[in-house]
Amino acid sequence: MIEATARVLASKGAAGVSVRAICAEAGVSPGLLRHYFAGVSDAIADTYRIIGRQIAEALEIAVEMAGPDPRARLIAYITASFRAPIADPQLLSSYVALWSLSRSDPEVARVRAEVYRDFRSGLELLIRAWRPELPDLRLPAIALTALIDGLWLELSLGDAPFTPEEAEMLAEKWLDCVIA
């Protein structure tokens, strides 16, 4: 059901998501959504939570596969957003819709705040492991998050052609620039 919600979010956008659309996508009766969720808003928030957790797990795996070097681990964390399984067209589309919904739906907004707090705290942890002497990690973390989100946006809305490799190169360059 949550997978169906993500698919509807990706295909029909924030304006097209509805109880009936989700249940039709899941191949079940329209009434079933309210057996699992308090409402459509709750279903969307849970979908956001699941997606956020999947991304966090993918990031964790990418960091572990990078080995012991602190800088390599940090770069892996940043560039994993442009590799599978995170760099997925459907996931990016869902994300844009969720951004929009989080502006009008307080429940979605709360989940978004959680997801971003976790992402940024993971980022700050890795930066601190690499450069323990840096006093303030707030602005670098914000800057890196902004670039990643901006590149995701361009990938999803898709009129600015660039490759994942270029995105990774840019992210790495931005890291060196914003940390130095």
Partner DNA sequence: CATCTTGTTATACGATCGTACAGCAAGGAA
Partner DNA sequence: TTCCTTGCTGTACGATCGTATAACAAGATG
* Binding-residue pattern over the window 72 to 91 for its own copies, x denoting contact by CB under 8 A: --------------------
Place of tokens 């009434």: 31
Q: Give the amino acid at 159.
A: D
Give min distance, CB of 34 to DNA, in A: 6
CA distance 13 to 8: 7
Q: 11, exposed or middle or buried, with CB in 10 Å at 0-12, 13-18, 19+?
A: middle
82, 164 in Cβ contact below 8 A? Answer: yes
Residue 106 and residue 112 in contact, taking contact as beta carbons nearer than 8 Å: no
Q: Which does 113 bind (CB under 5 to 8 A by kind): its own copies, DNA, none?
A: its own copies
- Which segment (25-33, 55-63, 114-122, 149-157) binds DNA by CB under 7 A? 25-33
Contact between 14 and its own copies per CB under 8 A:
yes
Q: Which is nearer to DNA, 35 or 138 (CB)?
A: 35
What is the token pair recorded at 151?
């590149």
111: helix, strand or coil: helix
Q: How far is the CB of 14 from its own copies (least distance, A)?
A: 4
Residue 161 interacting with DNA (CB under 7 A) = no
- Residues that bind its own copies in the complex, under the rule CB under 8 A: 11-17, 93, 96-97, 99-105, 109, 112-113, 116-117, 120, 138-139, 142-143, 145-151, 153-154, 156-157, 159-162, 166, 170, 173-174, 176-178
